[in-house]
């Protein structure tokens, strides 16, 4: 399961992790180009296994017009 963005030290996070529900372990996946605050962006799984992440805000409620592709 991909866990991306969120909040870190009171600001938006630009990290992505892989969570394994079978073990409860997380591993660092990558650093994203831009921060994405939880609940303010959309993540869409694509048929080829990649995940498209777009929209959101910068933690100060300024809308972002960026998109990123996560490739496992």
Check residue 22 and report its DSSP letter.
T
Q: Give the residue from 15, 5, 63, 71 showing the smallest Cα distance to 38.
A: 5
The domain of 50 spans 2-70
Query: How many structural domains compose the chain?
Result: 1
d(CA 46, CA 25): 24
Reported pTM: 0.72
Taking only the tens of pLDDT, the chain with its 72 residues reads 888 777 777 777 778 889 999 999 999 887 777 766 656 678 899 999 999 988 777 777 777 788 888 887
Q: How open is the CA angle 30-6-34, to the nearest 5 degrees?
A: 55
| Per-residue tokens: 13 | 């996070």
């Amino acid at each position: 399961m991909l866990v991306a963005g969120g909040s870190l030290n009171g600001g938006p996070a630009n990290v992505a992790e892989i969570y394994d529900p079978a073990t409860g372990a997380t591993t660092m996946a990558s650093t994203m180009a831009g921060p994405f605050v939880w609940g303010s962006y959309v993540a869409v799984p694509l048929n080829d296994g990649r995940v498209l992440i777009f929209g959101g805000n910068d933690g100060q409620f300024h809308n972002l017009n960026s998109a990123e592709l996560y490739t496992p």
